[in-house]
Chains A and B, each alone.
Chain A
């Protein structure tokens, strides 16, 4: 039932940018997920492997693929993987990652950063 939209997905012109690499990652995921769903250690290892082999930017493509395929478990898993990857990163890193720019008024951002200064402790260097 999870694969009903796969053919549609590949037929859809808009998804030409999806490489085979991504398809081969997302499609075997249901089986892997079902097999090791109960075993959290394995999922953690799989997540580590994923993070090592796949660039963070590629993860966003995986997410879009899972979203399009309506594959909730994969979507949740990838979201969690991205969350783990960015949780200790700086504000600038996260902006670049999501393609965002600061739209605060001058001085507003400084004020916020000052208020939450404690949350900036221990952040990874960019």
Chain B
């Protein structure tokens, strides 16, 4: 910096911004800039990598978004065998319009098979690999594309041989400032007829301990592993999934919504919405719709033909507040994939009877459909840029 005739001390005082203001400016920068500016000086390098800076940055940069526009990230489920040497590519789009913003290479290998986005929290993605013969493997990664770091989770120790279904949830436990992965494993019935259904096993991985542990459920139940499209929704600090109660006084309830508080790790049950069980449907999922718990089904009926129906729990925990929002007819068979933060629904029309497969974005208010350029069945999740896990231990940088 060029020196003037003024004594250095005066000049410093004149132009010098207090440290807290400098940090305030830094917390408003995109992650790529923050990482580059670690090279400015030692003080900046050490300040940037503190948990306090990372969480302030989350508030100031990621969440202080005037436009309210978030992002969506999507990745194809499969790589074809011939492409298996190529790494997968994710696409980032605007949440509202699905306009393509960028593409990101996945830095780790999944063998051919399918990949699932188990969750997306504070800019961290949890990706899981589902093996070739539909047998789940223990390959789970936590990945922050914005700072180019990832971590493969250690294997959990639950027996995998008889596991036929698996659901994963990924959450941030703000009470403990910790990230958790929740694994619900379903097992094949044991023994000969009459089959005795096996209850699910629940395991929780916490980043702080870098290990899995088993969590006991207060009753025996089986998670309904319908589909792996919607991430397990986090509402009011709890993960929710549809479960069939196996025994005990609750058995008469049949299907319930199991809720798992991520902080206290306690279970609760919620009742399914009225009318949700009446018709046979080909897809039934819980989802997050504009911050509320929603139940969405796709089915076919005489009255409506192909259609999807949606219920939203307007007031969390209050049974009467389940509100059937709409029944929307569709031209043909489809799968509901995800809600955007804006509240639009992503649907994939299936290629049955030589009709082309295509993805569309449906505005749930106007019912307007927008064709999307997503060629293959894909996982979809909300996304943001952040510095999450910049201070994480045992992360791989690339």
Contact = CB atoms under 8 A, between A and B. Distances in A.
Interface string A105-119: 000010011011011
Interface stretch (B24-32, B220-228, B257-265, B332-340): B24-32
B369 to A, nearest CB: 28
A21 interface: no
B279 interface: no
Given A80-B28, A104-B41, A116-B38, A63 B21 contact: yes
A87 B33 CA distance: 6
A15 B31 CA distance: 35
Contact of A99 (B1, B21, B28, B45): B1
B25 A112 contact: no
Contact of A104 (B16, B21, B42, B67): B42
Interface in B147-172: 148
B17 interface: yes
Nearest to B17: A60
Interface string B31-51: 011011111111111000000
Contacts of B41: 95, 100-104
Interface of B: 1, 12, 14-18, 21-22, 24-26, 28-30, 32-33, 35-45, 66-67, 148, 397
Contacts of B42: 103-104
Interface in A73-111: 75-76, 79-80, 82-83, 86-88, 91, 94-96, 98-104, 109
Instruction: Please provide the 3 A-B residue pairs with the shortest distance between their CB atoms, ordered closest to farther.
Output: A83-B28, A119-B36, A119-B35
A19 interface: no
Given A40-B66, A83-B25, A123 B15 contact: no
Nearest to A14: B13
Given A79-B28, A99-B15, 4 more contacts: A63-B17, A86-B33, A95-B40, A96-B1
A4 B155 CA distance: 61
Given A40-B66, A87-B30, A103-B41, A116 B15 contact: no
Nearest to A83: B28
Contacts of A118: 32, 148
B300 to A, nearest CB: 44
Interface residues of A, number: 37
**Chain B facing A: main interface SS:** helix
B66 A91 contact: no
B18 A67 contact: yes
A75 B24 CA distance: 10
A45 to B, nearest CB: 13
A79 B39 contact: no
Nearest to B34: A119
A43 B66 contact: yes
Contacts of A54: none
Contacts of A112: 38-39, 45
Nearest to A85: B25
A63 B24 CA distance: 11
Contacts of A115: 397
B36 A109 contact: no
A20 interface: no
A67 B21 contact: yes
A17 interface: yes
Contacts of A86: 25, 29, 33
Contacts of B67: 40
A99 to B, nearest CB: 6
Nearest to A105: B42
A10 B100 CA distance: 51
A102 B38 CA distance: 11
Contacts of A80: 28
A120 interface: yes
Contacts of B18: 67
Contacts of B24: 75-76, 79
A116 B28 CA distance: 19
Give the interface centre of B15, B29, B37 by most chain A CB atoms within 10 Å.
Answer: B37
